[in-house]
Amino acid sequence: MKSGGILFFLAAPFALAIGCGSSNNTAPGGGTNVCSAPPAVDGANLLKECSSCVTSGSCQANAPLDACCTWVAQAHDPLADGIGLHRYSTSDPNAKPDLSCLAQPAMLPSDGGTPPTVTLTGYVWLFSSGQDSAGVKVEVFKEKNPNTDGALGDAVGMPYVTSTTDMADPIDTSWNSKCSGGCSFRHYMIMNVPTDTPLVIKTSDGGSGSWATLYDYNIYFPSSAAQNGMATYDATAVAGADLSTVAGTVGQTVQPNAGLLAGEVHDCKDIRLGGATVGTTVTTASQVLYFTSDEGNPLPTQAAYDTSDLGLFGALNLPTGQPVRVTATAQCPPGAPSSVCNPGDNVMLGTYVVQLYPGAVTAISLRGRRPWQQ
């Protein structure tokens, strides 16, 4: 069972567009009141945990879609799979986004017993800076209340700190401009990790003073897919200097008491999706960043209104210590199950509740409807 972590980039938020308050609730440029009667998002009723809001979103003229209590912008581009990429990609030029799990997610085991455990292995990939992921501490936590409040639960297994003696990922990274001379993504291993359980993988500094803290949400290893008691997942580490360096390139400063959000939108086969829009309950759509299609060095661009084929999004300086729902929507593509949406309609691709932490990155890959989202 092979999965992988997020490889992403953050930058500063865009300037806010026109608000949608009592004094001005027209669309940008005027003419249409898009907030008094926002269009429904098809498929919202498929996610039962959305029947009550964790927190209320804020309607904006540039974010008129009410998607599971999250205000999200209209998509500008057709939804499409990432093709010919090096991670989370398909090689089929005729591939269509798989949205089948939105209508019928995989089922959790019904025996009610203790989930079997596996030994979790993988490599620690690098966010941006550095050539070697030695000195990264990897930890695994259960979610205390999955997709409800984002709080961390009990730690599982024993923390693992990577070193230069750990095997490096043999994958060819010459396509990546940051690793053209070779990068060492070090191997890690944690035993007694439960299957059939929503998990969070945390990476942080293991003593070198080089690494920032990152919480990767929406991690899940089904017992049915375990192979010889093993599961694999490539974690992500971020150098401490990267947070301020990346923000500084656009004239911004990371607030020490705020959190950073980063993520990807995938289809039900874990392929990256272009053409998705993302919103949260603590930002407007104009504060969500989208990125170029350069897989080796994706950069934020104000020309983007939705995800490129890399599926990447991010936001800077969000409030910490509270539930934050992250939701992705798109235009329903041709070939989607009729039980999910009709072509051209708005459809919810995924939604999840996380928390953000002071000076840390919260990562979330939206991978459709998860088994516990019945």
Residue 374 pLDDT class (50, 70, 90 cuts): confident
Range 283-297 average pLDDT? 79
Of 106 and 192, the one with more pLDDT: 192
75: tokens are 């998509």
pLDDT value, residue 51: 62
Residue 12 pLDDT class (50, 70, 90 cuts): very low
Range 32-51 average pLDDT? 67
pLDDT digits (tens, 9 = 90+) for 238-276: 988 877 766 665 566 788 898 999 999 999 999 999 999
Range 135-157 average pLDDT? 94
Of 136 and 305, the one with more pLDDT: 136
Query: Which residues fall within 8 angstroms of residue 6, CB to CB, at 6 or more apart?
Result: 216, 236, 262, 263, 264, 363, 365
Domains for the chain: give ranges and CATH numbers. 2-7+111-242 (2.60.130), 44-106+253-366 (no CATH)
Closest of 206, 198, 132 to residue 165, by C-alpha? 132
Range 115-138 average pLDDT? 92
34: tokens are 């898009």
Number of C-beta neighbours around residue 329 at 10 A = 30
pLDDT value, residue 45: 60
CA distance 61 to 33: 8
Query: Which residues fall within 8 angstroms of residue 226, CB to CB, at 6 or more apart?
Result: 1, 116, 118, 195
Strand order across the beta sheet in which 346-354 lies: 277-280, 324-331, 346-354
Closest of 3, 11, 92 to residue 316, by C-alpha? 11
Is the pLDDT confidence value at 359 over 50?
A: yes
Closest of 78, 73, 79, 70 to residue 61, by C-alpha? 73
CB 359 within 8 A of CB 318: no
Residue percentage of the chain with pLDDT more than 90: 44
Range 70-83 average pLDDT? 89
